């Protein structure tokens, strides 16, 4: 790999591995990603550092686990942020002479958490132009949206769902394409980052996405009603089962299909400008999404299951021709080194085991007592252990939904349990936890808090 290739880093927020056609789903939800994989490396066992958005992004942007960078939870009565002393991926690349631009669909990913640091251009979830370099990528209309961003954010809350597509995902991808076109002839390499969250509820895919998958298109009322029931499930106020769950999964698949079409537009821009061949392309999810697959009050938490921790990931290095698949576990936090360090090799990502942390609850309106878990994952088994010493061994089945849970140490394989327990102890011994959490007592408030509530975070 060249020492300073252009970099395109796309995070498909909440994309489930088992719903991605690249990984065997029977609906063609991701034809663009499938085609890219023919000349890229597909990772079968890519593990997120933690199964929710904020700390997962912080880990990918720092190369540290949540307990090391300090961002573990998000509560409305305080503002979670990376410590100023912790270098971000964009800051590292900027120091190396990269031009940097970020476009985020998620309120957690941006100035709220400090993840906008190091970007010369950054567009926030509500179309606010948070950082601007003078590259000229923003139109007069874009600036009008930015000035009215708080009003747009309020208007685009869940009930007024018709605004979600034209004002947010489509607009951010268009801005990213304009950035790529504007900087195409610049002698400096570029780092372009996007968070797109079509796979994150609420779901309002366009009719053509349903049609392309052979699914029944929704009527004018169904999306709002279905998403209201889904939000109740996300907040733990109702179950999601039967016909509702089946229909939600159809919406989910259609959302992935629409998102994939936006990804195609972005990759085509690189291809048409002759840039794709020499660009490092990294596409992954930050975590999965439980949609009625496991009891929400079960033990251990559904967040610890493969469904939420084992995510899709595809990497295409500059000049790569043939596709390949890697079965060994990899950790998404190692993407920091792959992207930031000159000459880093994809093969260096492979590990014998992958570590995941989870601090539960993830979010809330006020600071709550936290239950901490760690999970060590190999090819065939996974061990989850709480801070109090409670343990569960998972034997991975044919699919995540059919995963069988075996309480340990009863009725389990002693050699497997011993090996994973030792591997987990070794990894924990290498962690250096921080006391600097970077957050302040400043409440989140305003339209951002309202949007986080509508997304089911608070």
Q: What is the pLDDT of residue 1?
A: 55
Instruction: Assign 400 a pLDDT band (cuts: 50, 70, 90).
Output: very low
Long-range CB contacts for residues 382-386, cutoff 8 Å, separation at least 24:
382/306, 382/420, 383/408, 383/417, 383/420, 383/421, 383/424, 384/300, 384/304, 385/421, 385/424, 386/300
Taking alpha carbons only, the member of 139, 135, 124, 146 closest to residue 181 is 135
Domains and CATH numbers, the chain: 6-454 (3.40.720.10)
Q: Is residue 401 pLDDT above 90, yes or no?
A: no
Average pLDDT for 328-335: 97
Instruction: Measure Cα distances from 346 to 50, 312, 326, 336, 421 in Å.
Output: 21, 15, 10, 12, 28
**Across the chain, which distance is largest between two alpha carbons, in Å?**
66
Alpha carbons 390 and 235: distance in angstroms, whole number: 26
Q: Is residue 408 pLDDT above 70, yes or no?
A: no
pLDDT tens digits for range 96-128: 999 999 999 999 999 999 999 999 999 998 888
Percent of the chain past pLDDT 90, that is, above it, reads 62
Task: Give start and end residues of each alpha helix (H) in 148-286.
Answer: 149-155, 164, 170-182, 207-212, 222-234, 242-272
**Three-class DSSP category at 34:** helix
Taking alpha carbons only, the member of 67, 59, 10 closest to residue 285 is 10
Cβ neighbors of 437 (< 8 A, separation 6 or more) are 70, 71, 72, 80, 83
Taking alpha carbons only, the member of 324, 312, 252, 325 closest to residue 282 is 312
Cβ neighbors of 285 (< 8 A, separation 6 or more) are 11, 12, 13, 14, 15, 16, 17, 48, 199, 311, 312, 313
**Chain-wide mean pLDDT for the chain?**
89
**Count of other CB atoms within 10 angstroms of residue 408:** 21
Instruction: Assign 412 a pLDDT band (cuts: 50, 70, 90).
Output: low
Percent of the chain past pLDDT 70, that is, above it, reads 91
**Phi, psi (rounded to 5 degrees) for 166:** -65, -30
Instruction: Assign 399 a pLDDT band (cuts: 50, 70, 90).
Output: very low
Q: What is the pLDDT of residue 448?
A: 78
Q: What is the pLDDT of residue 398?
A: 38
Q: What is the pLDDT of residue 274?
A: 97
pLDDT tens digits for range 200-222: 998 999 999 999 999 999 999 99
Beta strands 121-123 and 99-104: pairing type? parallel
Is the dihedral angle over the CA atoms 23, 28, 33, 36 positive or is it negative?
positive
Instruction: Assign 402 a pLDDT band (cuts: 50, 70, 90).
Output: very low
Alpha carbons 458 and 456: distance in angstroms, whole number: 6
Instruction: Measure Cα distances from 108 to 52, 285, 321, 404 in Å.
Output: 11, 15, 36, 33
Q: Where does residue 239 rank: exposed (0-12), middle (13-18), buried (19+ CB within 10 A)? A: middle
**Of the given ranges (147-161, 232-246, 250-264), which has the lowest mean pLDDT?**
147-161
Q: Is residue 159 pLDDT above 50, yes or no?
A: no
Alpha carbons 142 and 149: distance in angstroms, whole number: 10
Cβ neighbors of 371 (< 8 A, separation 6 or more) are 359, 360, 361, 386, 387
Average pLDDT for 429-440: 78
Q: Is residue 22 pLDDT above 90, yes or no?
A: yes
pLDDT tens digits for range 246-277: 999 999 999 999 999 999 999 999 999 999 99
Does residue 223 contact residue 133 with C-beta atoms inside 8 Å?
A: no
Average pLDDT for 176-182: 97
Alpha carbons 64 and 67: distance in angstroms, whole number: 8
Task: Give this prediction's pTM.
Answer: 0.94
**Of the given ranges (144-153, 258-267, 416-425), which has the lowest mean pLDDT?**
144-153
């Amino acid at each position: 790999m060249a020492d300073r290739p252009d970099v395109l880093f796309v995070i498909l927020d909440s994309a489930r591995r088992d719903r991605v056609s690249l990984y065997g789903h029977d609906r063609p939800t991701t034809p663009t990603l499938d085609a890219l994989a023919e000349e890229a490396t597909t990772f079968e066992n890519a593990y997120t550092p933690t199964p929710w958005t904020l700390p997962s992004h912080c880990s990918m942007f720092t190369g540290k686990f949540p307990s090391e960078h300090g961002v573990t939870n998000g509560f409305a009565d305080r503002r979670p942020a990376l410590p100023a002393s912790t270098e971000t991926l964009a800051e590292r690349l900027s120091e190396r002479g990269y031009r940097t631009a970020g476009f985020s669909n998620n309120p957690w990913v941006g100035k709220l958490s400090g993840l906008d640091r190091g970007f010369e251009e950054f567009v926030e979830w509500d179309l606010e132009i948070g950082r601007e370099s003078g590259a000229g990528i923003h139109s007069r209309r874009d600036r009008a949206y930015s000035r009215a961003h708080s009003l747009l954010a309020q208007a685009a809350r869940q009930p007024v769902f018709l605004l979600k597509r034209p004002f947010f995902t489509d607009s951010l991808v268009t801005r990213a394409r304009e950035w790529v076109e504007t900087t195409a002839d610049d002698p400096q390499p570029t780092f372009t980052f996007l968070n797109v969250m079509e796979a994150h509820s609420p779901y309002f895919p366009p009719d053509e996405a349903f049609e392309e998958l052979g699914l029944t298109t929704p009527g004018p009322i169904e999306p709002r009603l279905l998403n209201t029931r889904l939000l109740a499930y996300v907040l733990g106020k109702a179950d999601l089962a039967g016909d509702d769950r089946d229909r939600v999964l159809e919406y989910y698949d259609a959302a992935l299909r629409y998102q994939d079409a936006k990804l195609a537009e972005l990759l085509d821009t690189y291809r048409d400008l002759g840039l794709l061949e020499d660009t490092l392309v990294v596409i992954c999810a930050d975590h999965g999404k439980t949609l009625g697959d496991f009891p929400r009050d079960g033990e251990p938490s559904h967040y610890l299951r493969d469904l939420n921790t084992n995510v899709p990931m595809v990497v295409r290095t500059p000049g790569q021709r043939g596709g390949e698949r890697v079965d060994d576990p990899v950790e998404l936090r190692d993407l920091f080194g792959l992207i930031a360090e000159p000459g880093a090799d994809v093969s260096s990502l492979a590990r014998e085991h992958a570590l995941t942390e989870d601090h539960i609850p993830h979010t809330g309106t006020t600071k709550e007592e936290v239950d901490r878990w760690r999970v060590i994952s190999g090819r065939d088994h996974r061990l989850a252990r709480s801070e109090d010493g409670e343990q569960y061994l998972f034997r991975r089945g044919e699919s995540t939904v059919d995963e069988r849970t075996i309480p340990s140490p009863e009725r389990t394989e002693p050699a497997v349990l011993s090996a994973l327990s030792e591997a987990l102890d070794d990894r924990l011994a290498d962690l250096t936890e921080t006391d600097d959490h970077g957050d302040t007592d400043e409440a989140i408030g305003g339209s951002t808090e309202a949007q986080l509530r509508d997304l089911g975070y608070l």
